[in-house]
Amino acid sequence: MSTMAERVTTTFVDLAPADWRQAFFDLGLPPFRGSQVAVQVYHRLAPTYAAMTDLPRSLRQELEERLPLGMGQEVAVQAAAGGVVKALLKFAGEASAECVLLPYHYGTSACLSSQVGCRQGCVFCATGASGFSRSLRAGEMMAQYLALARKAAPERVSRVVMMGAGEPLDNYQEVLAFLRRLNDPATFGVSFRRMTISTVGLVPEIDRLASERLPIRLALSLHATTDEVRSLLIPENRRYPIAQILAAADRYAEASGRRVTYEFILIGGLTDQDDEAHRLADLVGRHPGHVNLIPLNPTSHFPYQRPSGNRVRAFADILQAAGVATTVRRTMGQEVDAACGQLRRRYDQRGDLIAPVRVQSAGTKSLP
């Protein structure tokens, strides 16, 4: 298992804009060259030094050795109808991360990973079934965004959702560093209001994020209306039960000025029943925000199915009748393993197909 304690080679995308010129000065190179490379990377979307033909060839060769770009190696790409593209990038230490390009009528979003694997152990998630290796650096998240920006060009990737592999708030410092760099006009100037951080509900980190006073949207992975069921689906609920995470979400909404999104997965025969919808309406109706229903994206390790379209609509109708703002997540990219961790689970560190890993639900009780 690799860790962040391993020796890390600094790459260009690891650098914040304020460090570009100093990094080149420290290498004994003219500082203005740092700004030149930044223009190539962030404005012209150059994928390699070799593509930066306005730089001397000798300089390009030197930079390859002394300051790698850090774009990662694209080891798998899948495309689906509607312009959905999923890429698997391999970074140093055999770490790999998935990212997904999601075109919508209102703009193009990038769904990015924050960790290699995940520590949270959510039983319905393919990422957790693969275990945890390490957290990603801010530069590795930027490399994901850049890979998708190149695929979307000339369209702009105007929104970022930290909903890929990993728990973003378990990698707080690097995720915030990445989002601040992405917001910087010297890179892409993406508005904080067009960024979303998803979390299973790490209460201290939610409060820490609230203290930043940034208008980033928080998406809380609620997924059940009782602590008994939620603890089976999301083991972290034993540390921070529903009442605590909802209170933290309220504090975040007040501090950030943004409504919280309550993510709720609809699992056929488990969380898609009418009584669950009524409990959810009562639970969330007391808190500022809206509910985003997510029909289960089936995976090989979780023995449940997606509910029918009629069942999803009936569930949503109950919420809306109770005055709860409700959306149903648009199904995108099933044919490209678009759920978190699915593509990575199909590839080992050599890029070969691997067999699916079955996991047991955590806790002393089992799912029905």
Q: Which residues are catalytic?
A: 98, 340
Q: Which helix H or strand E contains 293, and what residues bound it?
A: strand 289-295
- Type of residue numbered 211: S
Q: Is residue 43 packed enough to be buried (19+ CB in 10 Å), middle (13-18) or exposed (0-12)?
A: exposed
**HSE-up of 104 (CA within 13 Å, CB side)?**
15
Q: How far is Cα 354 from Cα 347, in angstroms, rounded to an integer?
A: 6
Torsions phi, psi for 256 (to 5 deg): -90, -20
Distances (CA, A) of 236 to 32, 66, 329: 48, 42, 24
Beta-carbon neighbour count of residue 341 at 10 Å? 23
Which of 4, 65, 67, 62 minimizes the C-alpha distance to 41?
Answer: 67
Q: Which helix H or strand E contains 294, and what residues bound it?
A: strand 289-295
